[in-house]
Chain A
Amino acid sequence: MAVDQSDSASRRRGRILIADHEQGTTIPLTYLMEQSGYDVRTADSGEATLRIVATYKPDLILLEAMISNPDGFEICQTIRDNPDWAAIRILFVSAMTRDMDVAKGLASGADGYITKPFSNSEIMDHVRKLLEIADGSDE
């Protein structure tokens, strides 16, 4: 459960966008990511998410499917439709937990799907793995 302190101290480079309309989720996640050495932004609507993606160019998006206007699935599809954003990793972190939702999320081009509530170590594992792949493909 506990995250390896030496890893967080190593200050890996990486930009993360947390897209969730609930502050209860974004604040602890932001703290956790920042403590682990990542650069973090947050968005509380679908529209804001796409705007920040365009300017901030994150390496990873933690995306709540239930975010509205447009919803998480549509955001994911929009990003996947744009070749410039092919390197962006998308991880759903969502309260929509049916098999159907997970299948839909993965089919719309996401790299992973975590259901709420999640454990910090689970989410950190995913983030670390995804950003390693992203680094690998960049180089």
Chain B
Amino acid sequence: MDPTNKFWWFAGVSIFITLLIFAGIVLFFWQQLLPGQQATLIDIVKNHFIYLFIAAILFMAAIGFGLDAIFHSYILPLNRLPEEIELIHTVNSGHRIKREGSKVVNLVIDAINENADHYQQLENDVTTRVIEAKSDVEKEKNILAVIMSELPEGVLICNRDGHILFFNKQAKRFFTGKNDARLGDSPVPDDPPRAPLPFFGLGRSVFEIIDRHLVSHALDDIIEKLEKTTSGAASYFVTVSQGGRHLRTEMVPVLNHQRLFTGFILIFSDITSQLETDSQANLMLQSLSGGIRTPLAGVRAAVETMMEFPDMTLHDVQEFTRIIYHESLKIGKILGQHTRVPLDRPRSQWPLIETRADTMLEKLTVKAKHLLQLQFIAESYDEDLQLSTDSYSFTLAVLFLLQRLSDETAVRDFMCRVHKTNGLINFDLRWRGTAVRMDKVHAWEEKVLSLPDMGLPFTLGEVIRYHDAELWPYTEASHDWSGLRLILPALPPAGVELTRKPTIIPDSRPEFYDFDLFNQPGQNPSIDNRLLTDLTYTVFDTETTGLDPRGGDEIISIGAVRIVNNHLIADDRFEQLINPRRPLRWESIQIHGIEEEMLRDQPIIATVLPQFHQFAENTILVAHNAAFDMRMLQIKEAETGVRFINPVLDTMLLSSIVHPAQENHNLMTISQRLGINVSGRHTAMGDALATANMFLKLIPLLSKKGIHTLQEARTASEKTYFARLRY
């Protein structure tokens, strides 16, 4: 109960009892008097009523002051003691109880504070010992983390559900184009509005950055390999990040001691520039070879002809001599053009992995049936034949061809033959019906590979080129069968060499990881019974043009951070100014310090809110005085088309559950009470960070009150006094 309410209850009851006793005495006295005495007394009272009245008022006041003094000296300070003592020995051992109330109470408070000094001293000693004990382990962890962060490859570790447990800065750079932003970095005010990039952070799903089908294809591949072999069960593929980087990816499974699959590691190398150089070099090589051969053929044919026909006419001799001269000039010119090109690069960085032809054909049969409803039969193939492919893009390319062929010829049954001849592998798709024209096939080669549910941002031609393959249609001479032949080189794939940088180990921990997340169950709708410490939260704050959402006040800034597995991930942040398309009030500028010109070039709420919605997806929203912020978001539902259906927790309510005796539950007071440093107060990000820290401290205090799960926290919130406040 609120302390003020308590006081009035106490005062009311005390006065009532006093009046009752007084009235009893008066009644008794009255009955003792003779009738004459009673009349005299009435006269006296009537004539001197004013004195008696003043005396009564003074008496009442004396009682009131007395009660107030007792309440404030004894009851109120003693009432706070249990909460504050709890605060000291749970989250903030530096907290000291303020001296107030009577001498006796102060003596108690002094004793408690003295005790707290001892306790704090002890706690510090223990912490020091723990830190000492941990420092060796920490050192090794740091070395590991630094090595990870300095690798030229991006590294990403996921649990079996695809949630990210670890990443290094290269991985982040590949997928977001940004280097990792340190805590406390101020945003650059004239930063132009960014194109929406995928959110990337601990606890998020890997499917937000890599196509789901690609990941499951690789996982299937790994599981298949694990069943067959004991080592080397990695899968390889190429993915393209939203920023357009081509990433050669190696997926390695993580097994527990019982050899059960518990997660996977993804290792990315950026091959964008190599691919460009390679295809450039390949083109150059081709044009060099092709370019020289033709004039050389001319020279040779001319010379040989002149030797064979010594009696040719003078005119012919001159003609041939001219050809020899011009063709030799051409050769010189071509050589001059190409000597600058580096031709000694590896031919292709595309990770081509050997797969058995029968395995590949089996997969294709299943996928053709499920994805395209087409019959695909492996007609014949060489035993033990290995195909060097990037299995996902190759599968996609064949399925894409089947779909196009089926659309073009209306055929629904296809046969496939795979045979090796003269060091080349003929991969023939055959069907009974008309052939397709070569120009049609050329047109398909320009198309990006996309199928229902599957896709890659490459064209068919690119995939064929990266496989060093050739594709053309043919008609079988003796039958009414037609075909499409894909020729693949039958060589083992080219190896790839990597260069590494020296590693420097700084003192501080450069990256963030939390391997406990391996045991985290996947996010699902039944989160109500999960522990507060196990959930993922988006802690946010908004700054607005004013305090009246219904009266047209607008959001001008959103700041948010994430809490994953009871840790604040300050790096995975959302920070955005918003153009409110209305003038700012002078009073509000005084609070948040955001000027109108800072907002002019910022995106509007309809752009920002969907991004924030995506950032907060599958998490619990936490805010201080959440009712206000949620109202702000809900009012924008119609305009932006996004609905926030996330569960919500309010730190103001949680604080009043934990400390019902405290009168003040504003952000600043709670922060001081819980020993949290607040910087950047009244910026959305500063307040969101303060709220997040506060929330983390409130969780163990709630637990002491028997509130462990989300459901319990919500129920308790509803019951508290502040819940009645409505915006």
Asked whether any CB of chain A lies closer than 8 Å to the CB of B302, the reply is: yes
Q: Which of A28, A66, A80 contacts B298 (CB 8 A)?
A: A28
Stretch at the interface among A37-45, A47-55, A92-100, A125-133: A92-100
Q: Which of A29, A96, A99, A107 contacts B474 (CB 8 A)?
A: A107
Task: Give the one of B297, B309, B316 with max A CB within 10 A.
Answer: B297
Chain B residue numbers with a CB within 8 Å of A77 are 438, 472-474
Chain A residue numbers with a CB within 8 Å of B300 are 117-119
Stretch at the interface among B152-160, B201-209, B320-328, B690-698: B320-328
B472 touches A119 (CB 8 A): no
Q: Which of B293, B323, B473 contacts A95 (CB 8 A)?
A: B293
Report the Cα distance A100→B491, complex, angstroms. Answer: 13
B323 touches A32 (CB 8 A): no
Q: Which of A95, A107, A109 contacts B485 (CB 8 A)?
A: A107
Report the Cα distance A66→B639, complex, angstroms. Answer: 59
Chain B residue numbers with a CB within 8 Å of A93 are 297
B304 touches A25 (CB 8 A): no
Task: Give the one of A27, A64, A74 with max B CB within 10 A.
Answer: A27
Report the Cα distance A99→B304, complex, angstroms. Answer: 27
Known: A100-B487, A107-B485, A108-B472. A24 touches B326 (CB 8 A): yes
A25 touches B294 (CB 8 A): yes
Asked whether any CB of chain A lies closer than 8 Å to the CB of B273, the reply is: no
Chain A residue numbers with a CB within 8 Å of B295 are 22, 24
Chain B residue numbers with a CB within 8 Å of A96 are 290
Report the Cα distance A51→B327, complex, angstroms. Answer: 28
Query: Residue-by-residue, is B291-310 near A (CB-CB < 8 Å gives 1, otherwise 0)?
Result: 10111111111101101110
Q: Which of A28, A100, A118 contacts B323 (CB 8 A)?
A: A28
Chain B residue numbers with a CB within 8 Å of A97 are 289, 293
B323 touches A23 (CB 8 A): yes
Report the Cα distance A73→B474, complex, angstroms. Answer: 11
A95 touches B301 (CB 8 A): no
A81 touches B475 (CB 8 A): yes
Report the Cα distance A116→B308, complex, angstroms. Answer: 19
Asked whether any CB of chain B lies closer than 8 Å to the CB of A56, the reply is: no
Interface CB pairs A-B, < 8 A, 23: A22-B295, A22-B298, A23-B323, A24-B299, A25-B297, A27-B319, A27-B323, A31-B309, A31-B320, A32-B305, A77-B473, A81-B475, A95-B294, A99-B424, A100-B468, A100-B487, A108-B472, A109-B474, A115-B293, A117-B296, A118-B297, A118-B300, A119-B300
Interface residues of A (CB under 8 A from B): 1-3, 22-25, 27-29, 31-32, 35, 64, 66, 70, 73-74, 77, 80-81, 93, 95-97, 99-101, 103-104, 107-109, 115-120
Q: Assuming A35-B305, A104-B470, A118-B297, what are 16 further A-B pairs, CB within 8 angstroms?
A: A24-B299, A24-B327, A27-B323, A28-B301, A28-B302, A29-B301, A73-B472, A95-B294, A96-B290, A103-B424, A104-B472, A107-B472, A107-B474, A115-B293, A117-B299, A117-B300
